Amino acid sequence: MTIDWWTLALQTVNFLVLAWILGRFFFRPVRRIIVGRQEAAQRILTDAEAVRGEAMRTLAAARKARADIDGDRDRLLATAQADAGRERDRLLALAKAESDRLIDDAKATAEQQRAAMEQGLIDRARELAVEIAGRLLARQPPACALDTFLRPLCDEIAKLKPGARAAFLDADKPTEVVTAAPLSQGDRDHVASELEAAFGAPLKLLFRTDAAVIAGIELNAPARAFIRSSWREDLEHIRNELSSDRPSSR
């Protein structure tokens, strides 16, 4: 098994960047939100204690009046305690429910933001990897590996079905031969000879250049059929494979 050190290094850098971003822009704000909610809950508890204090003052007044209204003492005391208890329980229940809801909302938002941030970093890393590969390949002389790409192209031609092969043999419209850099007359003759041998028939060819090919050779038929053996095609395959390996959101 061969380890791609470049890919491993890029993934390590991406992980460190993700950890730094999460630590700086996510966990601190979430912590402040949670602390704020806890303070709000504490204020509600304080209010509940104030209500309880009011109830206790009512109880004290009832006790003070006990000498004059001895018959009502037990009723007033029971009523005050029951009211205070119910109010305290109600406020505590409301505070807990609100606190739980806010914490759950914060966790859900944090998870969504984390997933979105992670996916954005992965997408950027994929595009950056393909871009770096393209730039490195573009530094090579485009015409230096013509035969390296011409042979696989001829092999693909040999695999064509009759209907697809016919698309390249239109006598009225030329088949385009696209390379990254202009070919010398000798290279054009060599390419034409190899292609005619692969098709088993003479071809009407039109040579043109496209820097996006980077290196290699591509055939474009008049009927919008094409065969590619180029670094552009290889990079497209790499991009598609990386996209298919995209992890799903958790």
Query: Each residue of 57-95: pLDDT tens digit?
Result: 887 777 777 767 666 667 777 787 888 888 888 888 888
The share of the chain scoring above pLDDT 70, in percent, equals: 77
* Over residues 103-127, mean pLDDT: 71
The tens digit of pLDDT for each residue in 11-60 reads 888 888 877 777 767 767 777 787 788 888 788 888 878 888 887 888 77
Please calculate the CA angle 30-10-3 and round it to the nearest 5 degrees: 130
Residue 220 CA to residue 206 CA, distance in Å, equals 10
The DSSP code for 27 is I
Asked if the model's pLDDT at residue 3 lies above 70, the reply is no
Residue 154 CA to residue 44 CA, distance in Å, equals 80
**pLDDT at residue 193, as a whole number:** 92
**pLDDT at residue 72, as a whole number:** 66
β-sheet bridge partners, residue 191 = none
DSSP letter for each residue of 161-230? -HHHHHTT--SSSPEEEEESSPPPHHHHHHHHHHHHHHHTS---EEEEE-GGG-SEEEEE-TTS-EEEEE
